Amino acid sequence: MLDPQPLEGKTALVTGGAARLGAMSARFLHAAGAHVVIHYRNSSEAARILAGELEARRPGSVTLLQGDLLDFGALPRLVARALEATGRLDILLNNASNYFPTPLESVTEAQWESLFGVNAKAPFFLSREAAPALRENRGCIINMVDIHAERPNPGYPVYSMAKAANAMMVKALALELAPEVRVNGVAPGAILWPEGAEGEQSKAHALPRIPLRRAGAPEQIARTVLFLATTDYVTGQIIAVDGGRSIQQ
């Protein structure tokens, strides 16, 4: 018989957890019984609303944590403050992401630093800071990767490269932190698009190239996150949730 709350008594830190895939993942982890530490940078209102929603279901089960992942010196403090919530940390979901185009002819060093900082540098050093607590509790790290870590997205070379580093991080840390800590990733495909004309154009371009011929939903990503948080014999793996897009020619 399946445990309806397999994460009861555990604590999960979700970076970029106030909106989009991070918020949905926080909901699923919370529903499974976890105390959820929701990190955000600027989305204070969305974080407050999400916390209220979850607290209404289980009072005292959410902690909000503001911070800029590009502030390297603040990363140890983020983990320390997350540990203060319950005195333990079992799951680190490196979900926060920067995403914007970087045409080769106009890309800047600042754009490089931003994309690699949030998508690769911060997850790596947050994982390092969290490792002692995760080892103590035989916890796990889950990275939000991207199918474009393997198949570059035209016009987004730096983002694609940063996510490729993120994907290699999953495999490297799975070896470095074994046997106590499991490290895995989720690679979303066509799930969410930017708002407006750009999003509609991207959607029209992507859907015919997906073998299942339909977009996915945030719930499908969150369900995969929950699977990786609760299984105990999977590590070093990246699960593509993309309707088959990554195998399409």
Catalytic residue IDs: 159
DSSP sequence for 61-75: -EEEEE--TT-GGGH
10 Å CB burial of residue 247 (0-12, 13-18, 19+) is exposed
Specify whether the CB–CB gap between 129 and 75 falls below 8 A. yes
Integer CA distances (angstroms), 164 to 158, 167, 201, 206, in order: 10, 5, 25, 20
Cα separation, 154 vs 148, in Å, equals 10
Specify whether the CB–CB gap between 31 and 47 falls below 8 A. no
Cα separation, 150 vs 9, in Å, equals 36
Specify whether the CB–CB gap between 151 and 140 falls below 8 A. no
